[in-house]
Structure 1
């Protein structure tokens, strides 16, 4: 059985959370605007799209705070967020 040192690392471009977060937030924002302008799906659909956008903002905030903690050298910061 190979140990962890034998497994190659993924390239930075495939590990980066930013593209996924940006695409997700953009899609939720587009959905919110479409639902708001057309009324398609009603209030429930608008609430879901706004919550999806809020989760994206929360996720972005957590990633940025953790990266700042790594740069400061905090012991409690997550590792591997270079």
Structure 2
């Protein structure tokens, strides 16, 4: 019966354990892509296009990526500390 887990929580299957993912790679790839976009904007700005708004967006993306790397460092540190 499909409604059995809703009506009776004891028949539910156990939830799978969460997978620990290395977010450093994800954040570093994202920062790299923002740096690439920043380089493209700088080249286009040197060619005479108005790219100030896009430069601000790229810079913000890099700053947010760095903050997320910092957050991930402390999150991983807490995870290791609590695991001991």
TM over 0.5: yes
| Structure-1-length-normalised TM-score | 0.67
Q: 1:24 aligns with which of 26, 30, 33?
A: 30
Higher RCO (CA-CA < 8 Å; seq separation 6+): 2
Structure 2: which 5+ runs fail to align? 1-11
| Structure-2-length-normalised TM-score | 0.66
Query: CA-atom RMSD, angstroms?
Result: 2.3
Q: 1:67 aligns with which of 65, 69, 76?
A: 76
Task: Give the alignment of 1:1-82 within 5 angstroms.
Answer: 1-4=12-15, 7=16, 10=19, 15-39=21-45, 42-73=51-82
How many residues get paired?
Answer: 69
Structure 1: which 5+ runs fail to align? 74-78
Larger radius of gyration: 2
